A and B are shown apart, each in its own frame.
Chain A
Amino acid sequence: GDSVTQTEGLVTLTKGLPVMLNCTYQTTYSPFLFWYVQHLNEAPKLLLKSSTDNKRTEHQGFYATLHKSSSSFHLQKSSVQLSDSALYFCALTPNNNNAPRFGAGTKLSVKP
């Protein structure tokens, strides 16, 4: 079945450093991949999405590239800010009308 794996449960960084949050997926269908950000006591909000192989997509300083050859969609930012502290979910929607699948989430904690 379809699945998403996020290997880091918690990432702690100092402000200004780069970050990469890992996301790999499994599906036999052509997927749409998403990153959502969730702040405390709020609903997840879409950060960026892609279905195009090897094309970088960017939003609010974050970027990710879908690599179908390695089934990956890692989220990166070159310089994290305190306001980036949140829970980040990677998600997959296969194009066969199956339900979206979410990773377990990575909590990003940015320290001064």
Chain B
Amino acid sequence: DMKVTQMPRYLIKRMGENVLLECGQDMSHETMYWYRQDPGLGLQLIYISYDVDSNSEGDIPKGYRVSRKKREHFSLILDSAKTNQTSVYFCVGGPYAEQFFGPGTRLTVL
């Protein structure tokens, strides 16, 4: 099974600060995703990465950007965080038949 890691696990930031969420995987799989989870809304797709420097917006990309310079590493960046970006963020990756989740990052923006 693919192992997906996320750092940090918990993060508290003030409104307007920059946020970097990091994701790693151990199988060099091409496709990775960032989702956010909010109560009652399920998992919403923020960004997709098909490979190094090949990224695409998901359903709710506003306020976010991503970086993938190595296949094993996929970052989510919030420039000037907003309070409505308080959420749990999951990095997900894997082939068509199976997706692997990272443990999640709980971000609070005050």
Contact = CB atoms under 8 A, between A and B. Distances in A.
- Same complex origin of A and B: yes
A40 B99 CA distance: 20
A43 B40 contact: no
Nearest to B56: A99
B40 A104 contact: yes
* Majority SS at the chain A contact face: loop
A44 B88 CA distance: 12
B90 interface: yes
Contact of B42 (A34, A51, A99, A102): A102
Interface residues of B, number: 21
Given A9-B40, A43-B103, A102-B42, A95 B96 contact: yes
Interface size class of chain A, counting residues whose CB lies under 8 Å from the partner chain:
20 to 34
Contacts of B99: 34, 46, 91, 93, 100
Nearest to B50: A97
Nearest to A105: B42
A49 interface: yes
A43 B45 CA distance: 16
A99 B45 contact: yes
B96 A32 contact: yes
A73 interface: no
Nearest to B43: A102
Given A102-B42, A103-B42, A104-B42, A43 B97 contact: no
Interface string B17-55: 000000000000001010100001111010010100000
Given A105-B40, A105-B42, 17 more contacts: A43-B90, A43-B101, A43-B102, A43-B103, A43-B104, A44-B43, A45-B101, A46-B98, A89-B42, A93-B96, A99-B48, A100-B33, A100-B92, A100-B99, A104-B40, A104-B41, A104-B42
